[in-house]
Structures are given as structure tokens and as C-alpha cells.
Amino acid sequence: MADYSLHALGLAEAPRDHPLRYPGAWPARSGLLAGDAYLPLERLVHDDRVPVLAIGSNACPGQLRHKMDECGITAPVPMVRARVTGVDVGVSAHVSRAGYISAAPFDAPDAVRELFVTWLDAEQLAVIDASEGVPVPGGNYDRAWLPAPEFRIELEDGTRLPGVFAYVNRHGVLHDGTGLPRRHPGQRALLTEFLAASRPLRELFGVTPEEFCARARADRRLCARGTRLFAEEKWVTAGGLEQYVVRSAAVAAASPPVGGTSPP
């Protein structure tokens, strides 16, 4: 009998507990996150739920389980692999209190990425919104609606969604030195490069990725100082998706089903 436990599949660890492994392990296929298991998925489209594109650790079952467990949410989460055109995975221009520099999407018309769409019910959506800081003025992310045909979201069976939600960083994204958004290369590689490039960053967070993570974790003021430093170092640029942000909390709560229209 197949063992679908997260531990057996290598999907149990949460980047919140292991920041240098951000964004965590992603599944090899679509599935249903149900407690400590990742089960085969019977269908890819869930009309009674909201499609949300997972850019970073929200595609890691261990991280998703951690977030849901904190809020006592036990309902399963369908996770569907999708071929996404028009979005790439960049580096958010903030230091997370979880001890890492997280991912953020940016507008990239020619990019094609294999990502996950998580189908969330109302309670689950509220949990992820809160984890990204959407409801609070000082939060790091806004929720945006990325509509077709500007963005193409194609599921494994060829189904194309009319759009998908994604979390857009309020601080912007980090650029590659030419002013263009850079891709997220993984946590250790990213921190190694940034610490070598910036003496002020080393003074704040130490000289190794391990020191960075240890100092950043749960230190709100230090993370805020690091976030300001990114702007001071002139490493920040716009991600290009800001125009798609859902500005009204009421509109955001009334998210369209897959067959609906995009919110105004």
C-alpha cells in the first residue's frame, strides 16, 4: 500500500522551521493536502473554491499545513500543478520574520513556469491572507487578481483558468543589477550573494546565511531595518503586477469562482 504521508514523501518540513531551505519541498504532482497526508487528487478544478497561485513556500505542503494548524483549520487543500505564462518568481524586497528573504511574483510576459494553484475555501483564504499581511496596513503583500488573457494558467489536463489570485509584494522586488527583477535562486545562494555584496547587510545580519537566519527570526525591528536597507542600497524595483491588486477588502472577500469574472 502506498504511503501518502508528508514524511514519506519528503514534504513535511516547513521553511518557518528551516529558513535556509526556503521555499521548501514542492510536490512532484497535483494532490490533496489532508492533515499529514498528500493524497491523489480526483479533479483539478474546484468551482466552490478560490484559485490562488503559490509562488514560494505556499507551494510547500509542510508550510501550508503549519499555517492551517495554527488557526485550527482542518479542511483539505487541493494543490494543482499549472503551466503559468506571464509571471516569474522574483525576490521580495523585505526580510521576513521567519528568517528568510521570500519570493514574490513579477510581470514577465515571456516567462513560462511550472507552479501550483491552491484551491482555498473562505477560511483557508483568510488564513493565507493573514499570513501574507494582506489585512493590515503594515503587511508585506497585497492580493492581486491576474486575469486571462494577460496571464495564461493552464492545468495539467489542458483546462485554462480565467484568472488566478497571487500575492504581490508591497515593497517591490529586488533587481538583478540592470534594473530588471531578478529570479529567486534559493535561500542559501541568495543570502551568500547579498552578504558578500553589502557590508551594511553583514553588520546587521552577520557574515553567513546561518547567522542571517538566526538574527532575523522573530526580530521585527531588525527585519524592518533590513527591509529599509534594500531600498537604501538601491536594490529595489517594481514587480509590474501592482495594477492588478484588489484594493477593496469587500471585493477581495467576494472572490470569483473559476467560472466567474475578475473582480473590479
Tens digits of per-residue pLDDT, 59-70? Answer: 999 999 999 999
Report the C-alpha gap between 103 and 187 in whole angstroms: 10
Report the C-alpha gap between 105 and 89 in whole angstroms: 5
Instruction: Calculate the CA dihedral of residues 156, 159, 160, 164 and round it to 10 degrees.
Output: -70
What is the CATH class of 6-184+237-251?
Answer: alpha beta
Query: In this predicted model, what pLDDT tens digit does every residue of 101-146 receive, in sequence order?
Result: 999 999 999 999 999 999 999 999 999 999 999 999 889 999 999 9
Report the C-alpha gap between 17 and 223 in whole angstroms: 17
Element (H, E) at 187: helix 187-197
Confidence category of residue 218, pLDDT binned at 50, 70, 90 = confident
Q: Which region holds residue 212: left if phi is over 0, alpha if psi is between -120 and 50, else beta? A: alpha
pTM assigned to the model: 0.91
Q: Contact 227/118 with Cβ under 8 angstroms?
A: no
Handedness of CA 195, 115, 24, 217 (dihedral sign): positive
Report the C-alpha gap between 63 and 27 in whole angstroms: 12
* 3-class secondary structure, 250: helix
Cα Rg of the chain (Å, integer):
18
The three cell numbers of residue 56 are 514560494
Query: In this predicted model, what pLDDT tens digit does every residue of 9-49 receive, in sequence order?
Result: 999 999 999 999 999 999 999 999 999 999 999 999 999 99
Query: In this predicted model, what pLDDT tens digit does every residue of 159-217 receive, in sequence order?
Result: 999 999 999 999 999 999 999 999 999 999 999 999 999 999 999 999 999 999 999 99
The three cell numbers of residue 2 are 502506498
